Amino acid sequence: MYAQKANAPTRKAVTVPSLRAMKADGRRIVMLTAYDASFAAQLELAGVDVALVGDSLGMVIQGHASTLPVTLDHMVYHTSLVARGLSATLLVADLPFMADRDVPHALEAGARLVGEGGAAMVKIEGAAPHVLEIITALVERVIPVCAHLGLTPQSVHKFGGFRIQGREQEAAEQLVAQAKAVEAAGASLLVLEGIPTALGERITRTVSIPTIGIGAGPHCDGQVLVIHDMLGITPGKRPKFSKDFLAGRDSVAAAIAAYAEDVRKGIFPAPEHCFD
Ligand code: KIV
What is the pLDDT, as a whole number, of residue 237?
87
Tell me: pLDDT of 5 over 70: no
**pLDDT over 70 percentage in the chain:** 97
What is the pLDDT, as a whole number, of residue 236?
86
Report the alpha-carbon distance of residue 17 to residue 27 in Å, rounded. Answer: 14
Pocket of ligand 1 contains residue 100 by CB under 6 Å? no
Q: What is the pLDDT of residues 204-235, one digit of tens each?
A: 999 999 999 999 999 999 999 999 999 999 98
Pocket of ligand 1 contains residue 192 by CB under 6 Å? no
170 is catalytic: no
Q: What is the 148 CA–ligand 1 centroid distance (Å)?
A: 9
Reported as type and span, the H/E element at residue 181 is: helix 169-185
Pocket of ligand 1 contains residue 181 by CB under 6 Å? no
Residues 6+ apart with CB under 8 A from 188: 16, 19, 20, 121, 144, 145, 146, 209
Average of per-residue pLDDT across 150-168: 96
Q: What is the pLDDT of residues 22-62, one digit of tens each?
A: 999 999 999 999 999 999 999 999 999 999 999 999 999 99
Q: What is the 4 CA–ligand 1 centroid distance (Å)?
A: 31
Q: What is the 159 CA–ligand 1 centroid distance (Å)?
A: 17
Exactly one of 44, 125, 183, 193 is catalytic; name it. Answer: 193
Residue owning the nearest CA to atom 4 of ligand 1: 54
Tell me: pLDDT of 21 over 60: yes
Average of per-residue pLDDT across 72-90: 98
Tell me: pLDDT of 166 over 60: yes
Report the alpha-carbon distance of residue 182 to residue 208 in Å, rounded. Answer: 11
Lowest mean pLDDT among 7-21, 72-86, 94-108, 129-143: 7-21
**Looking at domain 16-273, what is its CATH homologous superfamily?**
Phosphoenolpyruvate-binding domains (3.20.20.60)
What is the pLDDT, as a whole number, of residue 263?
98
- Domain layout of the chain by residue ranges: 16-273
Residue owning the nearest CA to atom 3 of ligand 1: 54
Tell me: pLDDT of 2 over 60: no
Q: What is the 267 CA–ligand 1 centroid distance (Å)?
A: 21
Average of per-residue pLDDT across 150-170: 96
Using CB atoms within 10 Å of the CB of residue 124, give its burial: 0 to 12 exposed, 13 to 18 middle, 19+ buried: buried
Pocket of ligand 1 contains residue 32 by CB under 6 Å? no
